[in-house]
Structure 1
Amino acid sequence: MDREIALRPVDEHNRAQVLALRVEKSQQNFIETTARCLQEAAELALWRPLAVCAGETVVGFCMYGLWEKEGPGGRLWMDRLLIDQRYQGRGYGRAALRAVLRRMADEYPRHRHIYLSLYQDNTAATALYQSLGFVFTGERDHKGEFLMRIDRAKVLAL
C-alpha cells in the first residue's frame, strides 16, 4: 500500500526543508545533493524540481524533464528521486515514484517512454524501478550510468 504523498513545486515555503534532505552515507555517491539539483534546475528550464511531501513535512525530492535534444521528439527523464534518510523504508519512495511517473505521463502525453539512469551497484533503486516495470535498455549515459525505461502504458496502469 502506497503512502499518501503530494508533489509540490519547490518554493520559498519548502526550500529550506528540501535543502536539508540527506540520504544515507552509503547512498551519497548515487545522487547529487538537493542544492546541486536546484542549481541545475535554475540553469536549465527543462527541469521540474518537486518536494515530496507527507502532509506538511518534506520527506523527499524528485526532478524530471524533457530533454529535447535526445532523439526524435526528445527523451522524457525522471532525473532525480531521493527520500530523506529519516523516512526511508516507509513506502515513500514507491509512492513518490508512482506519483511522479503519473504526473509525467499526464504532462507529456505524446511520449511513449520515460527514462532514468542509475549506477549498477544501486541495487535498492534498481529493485524499486524494476518492481514498477522499468527495464534496462542496454545503454549507458555519459557518466557510465545504466539507462532504464518504462512504457507509458505501464505507467497509466500503476
Structure 2
Amino acid sequence: MFSEICEITVDNKQQALQLKVAPNQQSYVETVEECLTEAREDTRYVPVGLYNNNTMVGFAMYGRFVENGEERIWFDRYLIDEHFQGRGYGKYFMKQVLDFLTEKYHCHSIFLSVYDDNLFAIQLYEKMGFHFNGELDVHGEKVMVRELIN
C-alpha cells in the first residue's frame, strides 16, 4: 500500500473537509473543520491528511506541548472517513503516524486522550501499545500514553 502523511494546506483543505466519521462515532471526535479552526488558533497543532494511493482516507492532528519544562507529544485527533472504515486503515495509519511522530520528535512517549465509552478506539490504542496513565485531560477524557523503548 502506498501511503503518505501530508500537512493540510490550501491545496488539500477541501479534501480534508469532506472527511466524515460514521454517525455513531460523531460524539467521539471533533469535525475536521473544528480541528482546523483549533489549529489556526493554536499553532502547536499540526493537522495532516492520511493518504492511500493519492486519496485522502483519514485525518490526524498532533502537537508538541511543553509545560513546566516537560515535553509531551500529543496524537490529538484521529479519524478514518466512514467510507474507508473496515478496511484496516485505522490500525495501519495509526502505526504510520506513531512512527512518523517518533522519528520527527525523537520522543520517548506519545500521549492521547479518549472518552472512556469509546471502547473500539480504546481497544485499537491498547493494541498499539497505549495504556491509561490515570490522568484526565482538560475536557475530562482519560489520558493514555505509549512509552517507547530505545
- Give the TM-score normalised by structure 1: 0.90
Matches within 5 A, 1:87-102: 87-102=84-99
| Partner of residue 142, structure 1 | 138
User: In the alignment, which residue of structure 2 is the partner of 1:121?
Assistant: 117
Q: Unpaired runs of 5+ in structure 2?
A: none
- SS of the equivalent of 1:106 reads helix
Q: Distance in 1 between matches of 2:44 and 2:92?
A: 23
**Which residue pairs with 2:10 in the alignment?**
12
Please state how far the C-alpha of 1:21 moved relative to its aligned partner: 0.6
SS across alignment from 2:49: strand
Aligned equivalents of 1:86 and 1:117: distance in 2?
24
Q: 2:39 aligns to what?
A: 41
Which of the pair is proportionally richer in strand? 2
For residue 127 of structure 2, what is the amino acid of its counterpart?
A: S
Residue in structure 2 matching 1:54, options 21, 42, 52:
52
Letter paired with 1:29:
S
TM, length-normalised to structure 2? 0.94
Q: For the Cα contact (< 8 Å) 1:5–1:95, is it kept in 2?
A: no
**Is this contact kept in 2: 1:76–1:115, CA < 8 A?**
yes
Higher relative contact order (CA 8 A, sep 6+): 1
Question: Residue 125 of structure 1: CA displacement?
Answer: 0.6
In the TM superposition, structure 1's runs of 4+ consecutive aligned residues that sit over 3 Å from their partners are none
Q: What is the Cα-based RMSD across aligned positions, in Å?
A: 1.3
Please, which of 128, 132, 142 is the counterpart of residue 132 of structure 1?
A: 128
1:74-93 equivalences in 2 (<5 Å): 74-93=71-90
Partner of 1:106: 103
Task: Give the fraction of aligned pairs with identical amino acids, expressed as a percent.
Answer: 37
Distance, in Å, in 2 between the alignment partners of 1:6 and 1:15 is 16
> CA offsets per residue over residues 82-106 of structure 1, 9 Å max, x none?
0000001111111111111111111
- Alignment size in residue pairs: 150
